Amino acid sequence: MSTVGDTLNLIHPLVAKYLRRERMPHMACPGCGIGQVVHATLLAVDELGLTPKDTVWVQGVGCSSRITYSTWVGDNIDAHHGRMFAVATGLKMSRPDMNFICFTGDGDCGAIGGNHFIHACRRNLDVTAILFNNGIYGMTGGQVAPTSPLGAVTTTTPYGNIEDPFDMCKMAVAAGASYVARWRSTDFRQIANSVKKGIQTKGLAFIEVLLQCPTNFGRYVLKTSNPQEVVKWIKQQTVSLKDAEKLSPEEKQGKILYGEFLHQTDRPGIVERYQQFLKQHRKE
């Protein structure tokens, strides 16, 4: 069977360098925002000079994970649904010398894995977690997510969603992560910079990306299959932290803020804490 690269005789240099050719084409639907985030992540990886010898990709379950799993040329450790942070904890505490770039989704991290997310932030686990927030359960066909907007019609909220969406960046800040940022899939350079900062920051880096899911979010919530329409809608819902300073509370009402919420450079992660602890208590 031919791969995309063979047939088109063209392959993006970052894909050629860091992703497995035999795993292409990937599983993402046309117009999905996940590719943009992976692209930005690979740029960060490249700019930091990371390699498969020092960097592992970790996933959970859902679009975020199924699409990225086994594409990285190095090791890919994909957890059960929601257990990505628990798995990342075992990996990082066993191999503190390696970098773990973790991909999770809004259902994986905000619903079924919510407790692990909170406690990974509390422990300040030294990993870089990228949350792909498409506002819906995409892989299972468009069910309401904890991040779906109020009123959203989905396959499991045919009369509209009566619950408020979960602000997971606020949760990450409250629970104790070192670095917290939110971007849109179109903020390519900002995502790449955040991933770089995340990898270089001690403790947990939580980077949420609001991304377009034309297949399910578009279809059920916005009644469009056009990815550009979904991107436009995300842009309408969001306002940067900088711009928000100029807005009145009424103008900010219902808007989703994006930007860098927190960057604590001096807060130790669990790895540093554990290493200091071992120095005191190791006997043999």
Structure tokens belonging to residue 102: 């973790």
Structure tokens belonging to residue 278: 């071992």
Structure tokens belonging to residue 177: 């992560």
Closest approach, Cβ 56 to other proteins, in A, equals 5
Q: Which CB atom, from 123 or from 197, has the smaller least distance to other proteins?
A: 123
Residues that bind other proteins (CB under 8 A): 20, 23, 52-54, 56, 59, 61, 66, 69-70, 73-83, 85-91, 93-95, 98, 115-116, 118-119, 274, 277-278, 281-284
Separation between Cα atoms, residue 134 and residue 234, nearest integer Å = 10
Q: Which CB atom, from 94 or from 248, has the smaller least distance to other proteins?
A: 94
Non-local (6+) Cβ contacts of 152 within 8 A are: 135, 136, 144, 160, 161, 220, 221
Q: Which CB atom, from 80 or from 189, has the smaller least distance to other proteins?
A: 80
Closest approach, Cβ 210 to other proteins, in A, equals 26
Closest approach, Cβ 208 to other proteins, in A, equals 21
Closest approach, Cβ 253 to other proteins, in A, equals 34
* Helix ranges restricted to H, the chain: 4-8, 13-18, 34-48, 63-66, 84-94, 106-107, 114-123, 168-175, 188-200, 227-237, 241-244, 249-252, 270-281
Q: Which CB atom, from 79 or from 221, has the smaller least distance to other proteins?
A: 79
Structure tokens belonging to residue 11: 């392959």
Q: Which CB atom, from 27 or from 153, has the smaller least distance to other proteins?
A: 27
Q: Which CB atom, from 119 or from 255, has the smaller least distance to other proteins?
A: 119
Separation between Cα atoms, residue 135 and residue 58, nearest integer Å = 21
Closest approach, Cβ 156 to other proteins, in A, equals 22
Separation between Cα atoms, residue 134 and residue 218, nearest integer Å = 10
Closest approach, Cβ 91 to other proteins, in A, equals 5
Q: Which residues pair with 57 in a beta bridge?
A: 76, 101
Structure tokens belonging to residue 90: 């075992």
